[in-house]
Amino acid sequence: MGMEEHVERLKRLKGLLREAFILLPAFNNRQETQPLDELFNNICRLLFTDDFYLHLWDEGALYQLVEFFKAKTPNPTVYGERLTKLSERKNFVQQTNEFFFSILSHEFPMEEVVNRVSALTKIDEAAFLKLKASGHLQDIRASKSPASEKIEAFIEHLINDMGVNFGEAEDGLRQVLASIKAQETPGRANALLVNTSSNAGILIPLSTRLQLGKGEVHCLISSGGDFKTAIDRARHLLLSNGFLNRMDDVDYSLDITEASYSGDSIGLAAAIAMYGAATKQSIDPYTSFTGNINLEGNQYKITPVKGISQKLDAAILNGCRRVFIPIQNHSEISGDYTKKLQIICVSDITDVLLKLQTSLEPLPGDTLQIRKINFLRAYCQNTLNPDATL
């Protein structure tokens, strides 16, 4: 199977799964079964034709398939062995991504990173001590490279410098890494929304592009929701902080056709996507965003949104490890979510950019906000000990 065909099939599969999870509550309540039956047949046809399921390394797709098949199961006599392989693949990919995310996040000390390596292969005490003494992980985390390159650099360090042998698991690690790399594009961010007809949370990648024009916002692909106003407010937030050129046009696209979405909560994801497009930095696919952008007094702030629990469920279902939400939604977070996600509550764009752990190189420009961010980054860089957090 060629790469283009694989990408197209995966895109179709994710679209079908999104539709299925929107319909699932009505199906579980026995309110409506026929639309889900049709989706089920289409998913099975796409998944098992040419053994496409064996080429899946995307955690979100695998997790959703396993959960969907719990509600509506293919004939075990026909598909039993394939369903077992699918579940095993999901478990391996989840373990691998737990390890990969620990490489990226300053939240995890070296001991926890090694624990996650140990879930995949044996690592002896001498290698652990050598790894901790080398300081190489801290150097990787502080670099401005994309997430996939940081992960790959650490894996190569483990194999070539520490003598860690992943055995048969190494090929799987490389496949998961390729899946992560395929999702890294400057100008792209994961937006968490709620489908208002079903009250189900969904994750949608938002893609943005900047080009010199008249300072307008354009939708490249017609989407079901009305997001233009929210994205324009996010644009003004970045303008007011000196991160965008006033004459830059913003082109955006989302791969959705349903009309039943609230547009305001896309604002924070839009701001981060545009910032990534402007600075040519990609946001790791483990991270997602929800938050409105509003002008309060003379300053744009990140303001509360509805459907936090549904959105956090969607983040987990799509393989996210970290979610940014408005600080005013903090009281809606239950302990169950904090066991599965790093939930970061923010009120302004400075909070987000610092906690995203983007490159510590100074940002260009001389606005008050840029000077503030550069000062805080320099402070963090000078005072951070090897196991501290940003």
Give domain status of residue 89, yes or no: no
Q: For the domain that residue 230 is a member of, what is the CATH number?
A: 3.30.230.10
pLDDT at 388 exceeding the cut of 50: no
Q: What is the pLDDT of residues 100-115, one digit of tens each?
A: 999 999 999 999 999 9
Whether the model pTM is above 0.85 = yes
Pair (152, 217) in one structural domain = no
Q: Does residue 83 fall inside a structural domain? A: no
Mark whether 198 and 171 lie in a shared domain.
Answer: no
Which has more confidence, 208 or 257?
Answer: 208
322 located within any domain: yes
Question: How many residues in total does the chain contain?
Answer: 390
| Number of compact structural domains in the chain | 3
Q: Determine the pLDDT at residue 55.
A: 96
Q: Which of 182, 205, 225 lies at the terminal end of a domain, its last residue?
A: 182
Hey, what amino acid is at 10? L
pLDDT given at position 224: 52
- Whether residues 109 and 165 fall in one domain: yes
74, 90, 125: which is the final residue of a domain?
74
Verify that 146 and 223 share a domain, yes or no: no
- Taking residues 42-62, report their average pLDDT: 96
- For residue 389, tell me if it sits in a domain: no
Q: What is the pLDDT of residue 124?
A: 86
Model confidence over 154-169: pLDDT tens digits?
A: 999 999 999 999 999 9
Domain membership of residue 113 as a residue range:
99-182
Q: Give the model's pLDDT for residue 372.
A: 60
Mean pLDDT of 107-136: 91
Angle, vertex CA 14, rays to CA 154 and CA 85, nearest 5: 65
Same domain, 42 and 107: no
> Is there a domain that residue 244 lies in?
yes
Question: Measured between alpha carbons, how far is 208 from 243 in angstroms, rounded to an integer?
Answer: 15
Note whether 231 and 362 are same-domain residues.
yes
271-324 confidence digits (pLDDT tens)? 999 999 999 999 999 999 999 999 998 899 999 999 999 999 999 999 999 999
- Is 354 inside any structural domain? yes
Of 15, 40, 74, which one is at a domain's C-terminal end? 74
Is the domain of 163 the same as that of 46?
no
Residues 30 and 117 in one domain: no
R_g of the chain computed on alpha carbons: 21
Can you give the pLDDT at residue 153?
96
Task: Provide the percentage of residues in the chain whose pLDDT is more than 70.
Answer: 88
Is 81 a domain residue? no
Residues 67 and 132 in one domain: no
**262 and 211 both lie in a single domain:** yes
pLDDT digits (tens, 9 = 90+) for 166-200: 999 999 999 999 999 999 999 999 999 998 888 89
Does any domain span residue 90? no
- What integer pLDDT is reported at residue 26 of this predicted model? 73
Same domain, 295 and 226: yes
- Does 25 share its domain with 68? yes
